Structure 1
């Protein structure tokens, strides 16, 4: 834990951004919060309703328009269940096993429409989502929260695919993160669906609540879970392959979800942010969870060595630092032994951890306040699934 409390230059922090400005990660968005700041009181997971699509379904766009309502209805695709009966071995039709005329009516595993079989645990909607970006909303408690839903051309709805939530930095938005994120280039060919949520306005602009900072009176863990649940209604998502990534303040949200929502997220990949001295003590994930963190040694916003920051008025925080955060995650996940030597991408890994999870720190020598290396991050994430 650090005792040094050297204040970061507030002007640099605001302009270079726990937000998104330094490496072009803010391009293509207006930097405003899609969620707004209306309402008061903490959000809860109760009261989640289906969101609506308000915008073009044209690939790569995220602006609102009037060309159709863009909504997609979900289908049933069969439930893969077995009904009782008195006959034969039974037959399987569209994922539902019917009774025969005598004997054991097990009828085999069956398949749930386009999903996988074995009891129909994953049932793909009968109508596949159209490729492109659409603006979506989900209601959590009394607040409507927005996100950009990205459906790649490779997604055809015939089989379960991973879902990745990608969180923006301080002062950013879902659309700006969609524009600047390095992950779609890696995940699109595999048909992976992504969501880019927008934070609520805090003292320094749109942000995420990670405990001591950086926006109050919102439960953003509940928001993330609600977005996942809503997307699962209309897309064929593998519930064991849901991941969180993020840049800067969004990296902080990814860390926080690993601490607070390991029951939903299989692994996380934060960039340009650390665990905090103020919240590491409350980081008690429900199970071991893989974490791959990207940090630059010359980051002027979140120093590699850690330290005190008062960029958000009234919400000071103390970054653990890249190395101490790496060690903290290794301790949280019950890792033993020493981490590997850095590879060609600057990545060092604790691999002897509980339940086969991994803790990795990728250091970019001379690296600035910048997004993570998705070419490294995505393969690391997809190796891990929920138990």
Structure 2
């Protein structure tokens, strides 16, 4: 199962050449429906055949969730067709950040997918997501389901290929979604994640969950060995990985390779239930950043030679929701 890093980059270059995101911005009103439960029996959402958002554009959409005005940024691929079910990547920003910043940080809008960047509500320490003590009292899991419902009604979504990723507090929230919404997302990724106690609610009953994690051993914000942060106590990255390996019932023996100098890539896939897997990139001395992101968008040492977005996208493409039910 050892992977070729050069092949990953080659695939990434090809996919980057297929689509591009426009820069137009607009707004659209609307209220979200309640989140549905269970995976759809069809691979396409209700929005197929409609054309409610312009291909090649990024648009801010508003909806009402629990009486509050909420929003998300949605980027539609330039070659999007209303008759072709398209995958979705939802990307959650870190504490104090915005959906616009998350789009620039990750570049998921350059992939052949509908990229969705939800905006967190302001808590005690800036915009944040459920699972950390500094977050607002909003039910962000419910909000996420409402956003997904709205995206599926506005666009032609492949409901078998819906994915979630996040950075820092957003990475912790993506992990919470892995516990609470494994019936709607096919795979998850967390980068420099904040694994506070609240991010593990519901994990004991989660389905089989493919998950990928990136973390620097020199992260000054969310320490690799765990600690006590602005949102409370958080577990170490090795403990976090061990928990997901156990939940997915994988063998604790990992296949290990070194895609770039100073990066250990571990893959737990043997014996995992329902085709799930756990992957980790341990970045020696790496800081609190999204590897491969534009310079200056993190703290501590960057890892420009490790393209996290490309690796996450390739990981996502290997998983379908129907395979893990």
Aligning the two structures, in what range does the TM-score lie when normalised by the shorter sequence?
A: 0.7 to 0.9
- Cα separation, partners in 2 of 1:378 and 1:274, compared to 1, 3 Å: same
Residue among 263, 288, 309 paired with 1:374: 309
- Cα separation, partners in 2 of 1:134 and 1:280, compared to 1, 3 Å: closer
1:184 equivalent in structure 2:
109
1:358 equivalent in structure 2:
277
Question: Within 2, Cα distance between the matches of 1:121 and 1:275?
Answer: 33
1:256 equivalent in structure 2:
176
Question: Within 1, Cα distance between the matches of 2:174 and 2:201?
Answer: 16
Tell me whether 1:203 sits opposite 2:124 in the alignment: yes
1:222 equivalent in structure 2:
142
Q: Deviations over 1:53-87 (max 9, x none)?
A: xxxxx92244x5xxxx7689xxxxxxxxxxxxxxx
Question: Within 1, Cα distance between the matches of 2:43 and 2:108?
Answer: 30
Q: Which runs of 5+ in 2 are unaligned?
A: 1-20, 31-40, 292-307
2:51 equivalent in structure 1:
127
Question: Within 2, Cα distance between the matches of 1:279 and 1:126?
Answer: 36
Q: Give the number of equivalent residue pairs.
A: 270
Residue among 314, 319, 324 paired with 2:239: 324
Question: Within 1, Cα distance between the matches of 2:160 and 2:274?
Answer: 15
Question: Within 1, Cα distance between the matches of 2:65 and 2:100?
Answer: 20
RMSD of the alignment, in Å? Answer: 2.4
Question: Within 2, Cα distance between the matches of 1:335 and 1:232?
Answer: 32
Question: Within 1, Cα distance between the matches of 2:51 and 2:81?
Answer: 9
- Cα separation, partners in 2 of 1:286 and 1:337, compared to 1, 3 Å: closer
- Cα separation, partners in 2 of 1:215 and 1:221, compared to 1, 3 Å: same
SS across alignment from 1:341: strand
Question: Within 2, Cα distance between the matches of 1:285 and 1:267?
Answer: 16
Conserved in 1, the CA contact under 8 Å of 2:267 and 2:279? yes
Tell me whether 1:136 sits opposite 2:61 in the alignment: yes
Residue among 300, 321, 324 paired with 1:386: 321
SS across alignment from 1:138: strand
SS across alignment from 1:164: strand
Question: Within 2, Cα distance between the matches of 1:294 and 1:226?
Answer: 28
**Structure 1 residue 183, shift from structure 2 partner:** 2.5
1:169 equivalent in structure 2:
94
1:153 equivalent in structure 2:
78
SS across alignment from 2:256: coil
1:275 equivalent in structure 2:
195
Q: Deviations over 1:138-187 (max 9, x none)?
A: 211211101111112121223101111111111011122122223233x1
SS across alignment from 1:238: strand
Conserved in 1, the CA contact under 8 Å of 2:92 and 2:170? yes
**Structure 1 residue 276, shift from structure 2 partner:** 3.0
Q: Which has the higher helix share?
A: 2
1:95 equivalent in structure 2:
none
Alignment of 1:222-241 (within 5 A): 222-241=142-161
Question: Within 2, Cα distance between the matches of 1:255 and 1:279?
Answer: 6
- Between structure 1 and structure 2, the one with the greater Rg is 1
**Structure 1 residue 214, shift from structure 2 partner:** 2.8
Task: Give TM-score scaled by structure 1 length.
Answer: 0.65
